[in-house]
Amino acid sequence: MNALPPLAASQTRPPAARRLHVVTWGCQMNVYDSGRMADVLAPLGFGPAASAEDADMVILNTCHIREHATEKLFSELGRLRRLKEARAAAGTRMLLAVAGCVAQAEGAEILRRAPYVDIVLGPQTYHRLPEMIAEAEHGGRAVIATEFPPESKFDHLPEAAMPAGGVTAFLAIQEGCDKFCSFCVVPYTRGVEASRPAEAVLAEARALVAAGAREITLLGQNVNAWHGDAPAGGEWNLARLLRALAEIPGLLRLRYTTSHPRDMDDALIAAHGDLPMLMPFLHLPVQSGADRILAAMNRRHTGADYLRLIERLRRARPDIALSSDFIVGYPGETAAEFAATLDLVREVGFAQAYSFKYSPRPGTPAATAPGQVPEPEKEARLAALQALLAAQQQTFNASLVGRRIGVLVTGRGRHRGQIAGRSPYLQAVHLDGPESLIGHEIEVTIAAAGPRSLAGERRAANEEHAAA
């Protein structure tokens, strides 16, 4: 940083004189990273822009996990190029940056096809954004940073600045993945597993609570592999970290996502039983129900292992609801193997789940594996799986009707006099109530269930009768 050239006129403007627009695609980790990039740039005078049209800098934070990422990026870049040119014609400059996993995987290709991009930066280099901006503005050529530096980016990022009043917050505690599932780009784009020290996590959590957060979701590509330095020496696992977080006054709810079945250890399962504020909802990707496919995917667990795990979780926390990820049409998947996935889904009964057609990711082992499944077959399997999952979701939502559950009120509802919140199972809940309830967890009777959200009432059904 000390080798920076003198500030340009554009950098001497008062704080927030420049406006930043960040477009985020993909996972919650990207949402978190986008926030942190904005934090890093705030001291340079960047405030939020309403849209790309009135921004001085646009960052596209990309996701590479499934198909169409690259086409989507280049089509958005084409639009931004015209904006940038119009700006240049008017004598001002718009900086254009591409961040995230597509930047990491295809940085050179991006600059070849879109030479008007100023900065290409991988997820490990966000803390260096200020110097990259200086270099792009003064060096006159594109800056590319996609290396995996030996130090963790977590060590360099400022404490998260959270918009005041945000009742729910994300907190990244772990990044990267060493599992190398044969279909997945994450180990290549996000690098090896790195865990933040417990003290840094606790400090950020306390700051989030002080800023109004009541529910914190711990994030990581493989979050339950977290094992960080303990505050007083030694090492903690995720269960221990959750226990420490649970003691923060004012914090009402904890969640973590996303997990690998192999890292669900006894201590973590026990924590689900012992910590009421650890919400009874777990996203635990299984990908397939067929053991041969699971082995080919390098998941290193079987369908039966997964079912046993679910059974143990349910013993610890009987009301736990489950979510998962599935891939259909993995290379070589037969109709019978796909049917095994449907069987596993029927056996578990999911509250919700995500399912995807297998999409070959360049550089991953599965991309060149024999037996690629034809597109129409993938589509048919996806439709069948999604129909089953949607029916299970509807059944789960309907099972809550008439029940009284805790709802964390997160904000105003769609209509006047309405508020919106979150159930323990991550469903959106709408109800009538005053805004003064925002930030509080209240008891709500579920009156109706839609496919994606619930309608609730603050009074219990029996109070309703008494009042009638």
Residue 392, contacted partner among ligand 5AD, ligand SF4, none, CB below 5-8 A by kind: none
Of the residues 285, 331, 433, 456, which one makes contact with ligand 5AD according to CB under 6 A: 285
Surface-to-core class of residue 80, CB atoms within 10 Å of its CB (0-12 exposed, 13-18 middle, 19+ buried): buried
291 binds, among ligand 5AD, ligand SF4, none (CB under 5 to 8 A by kind): none
Please give, one letter per residue, the 3-state secondary structure of 101-127.
HHHHHHHHHHHHHCCCCCEEECCCCHH
Residue whose structure tokens are 């996990």? 65
Q: Is 359 in the site for ligand 5AD (CB under 6 A)?
A: yes
According to CB under 6 A, which one of 38, 58, 65, 373 is a site residue for ligand 5AD? 65
Cβ-based neighbours of 455, under 8 Å, separated by 6 or more: 429, 430, 431, 446, 447, 448, 449
If binding is defined by CB under 6 A, does position 354 make contact with ligand SF4? no
Q: Where are the alpha helices (DSSP H) in 90-226?
A: 100-113, 129-139, 186-189, 198-210
H or E element at residue 316: helix 303-316
Q: What distance in Å separates the CA atoms of residue 191 and residue 104, rounded to the nearest whole number?
A: 10
Residue whose tokens read 């995987």? 105
Question: Would you state the torsion angle of the CA atoms of residues 158, 218, 264, 305, taken in this order, to the nearest 10 degrees?
Answer: -120
- Provide φ and ψ at 159, rounded to 5°: -55, 140
Provide the minimum distance between the beta carbon of 170 and ligand SF4 in the complex, in angstroms, as a whole number: 17
Of these, 103, 144, 177, 239, which contacts ligand SF4 (CB under 6 A)? Answer: 177
Out of 18, 127, 214, 260, name the contact with ligand SF4 by CB under 6 A.
Answer: 260
Partner whose binding site includes residue 359, from ligand SF4, ligand 5AD, none (CB under 5 to 8 Å by kind):
ligand 5AD
Of 73-81, 230-238, 240-248, 355-363, the window that binds ligand 5AD (rule: CB under 6 A) is: 355-363
Chain residue whose CB lies nearest ligand 5AD: 325
Give the nearest distance from C-beta 412 to ligand 5AD in angstroms.
31
- State the binding partner of 430 from ligand SF4, ligand 5AD, none, CB within 5 to 8 A by kind: none
Interacting partner of 187 out of ligand 5AD, ligand SF4, none (Cβ under 5 to 8 A depending on kind)? ligand SF4
User: Can you tell me which of 189, 222, 257, 287 binds ligand 5AD, judged by CB under 6 A?
Assistant: 287
The answer to whether the CB of 175 falls within 8 A of the CB of 221 is yes
**361, 381, 422, 430: which one contacts ligand 5AD (CB under 6 A)?**
361
Q: Which of 315, 385, 310, 323 is nearest to 351 (CA)?
A: 323
Q: 283: phi > 0 → left, psi -120 to 50 → alpha, else beta; which?
A: beta
> Which of ligand SF4, ligand 5AD, none does 404 bind, CB closer than 5 to 8 A by kind?
none
**How far apart, in whole angstroms, are the C-alpha atoms of residue 224 and residue 264?**
7
Which of ligand SF4, ligand 5AD, none sits in contact with 327, Cβ below 5 to 8 A by type? ligand 5AD
Determine, following the binding rule CB under 6 A, whether residue 187 of this chain makes contact with ligand 5AD. no
In the list 25, 126, 154, 183, the residue contacting ligand 5AD (rule: CB under 6 A) is: 183
Of the candidates 358, 349, 442, 341, the one whose C-alpha atom is nearest the C-alpha of residue 392 is: 349
SS percent in the chain: helix, strand, coil, step 5: 40, 20, 40
**Residue 458: helix, strand or coil by DSSP?**
coil
Choose between 251 and 293: whose C-beta lies nearer to ligand SF4. 293
Count of residues that interact with ligand SF4, criterion CB under 6 A: 10
DSSP strand pairing (174-175 vs 194-195): antiparallel
* 289 near ligand 5AD, judged by CB under 6 A: no
- Told to check if 168 binds ligand SF4 by CB under 6 A, we report no
Beta carbon of residue 432, minimum distance to ligand SF4 (angstroms, whole number): 41
Residue 66: contacted member of ligand 5AD, ligand SF4, none (CB under 5 to 8 Å, by partner type): ligand 5AD
186 scored as a contact of ligand SF4 (CB under 6 A): yes
**Using the rule CB under 6 A, is 221 a contact of ligand SF4?**
yes
* Interacting partner of 260 out of ligand SF4, ligand 5AD, none (Cβ under 5 to 8 A depending on kind): ligand SF4
Q: Which of 29, 40, 97, 184 binds ligand 5AD (CB under 6 A)?
A: 184
CA 385 to mean position of chain CA atoms: 23
Out of 184, 254, 313, 351, which residue is the one contacting ligand SF4 (CB under 6 A)? Answer: 184
Which listed residue (217, 222, 355, 410) binds ligand SF4 by CB under 6 A?
Answer: 222
Respond yes or no on whether the N-terminal peptide bond of residue 258 is cis (omega within 30° of 0).
yes
Residues 315-334: x where in contact with ligand 5AD by CB under 6 A, - otherwise, as a string: ----------x-x-------
349: which DSSP letter?
A: -
Q: Does 324 bind ligand SF4 (CB under 6 A)?
A: no
The CA-CA-CA angle for residues 130, 135, 136, to 5°, reads 100
Task: Give the contacts of 360 (CB within 8 A, at least 6 positions apart).
Answer: 366, 367, 368, 372
Alpha-carbon distances, residue 241 vs 1, 177, 232 (angstroms): 34, 19, 13
Interacting residues with ligand SF4 (CB under 6 A): 177, 179-181, 184, 186-187, 221-222, 260
Interacting residues with ligand 5AD (CB under 6 A): 65-66, 183-184, 285, 287, 325, 327, 356, 358-359, 361
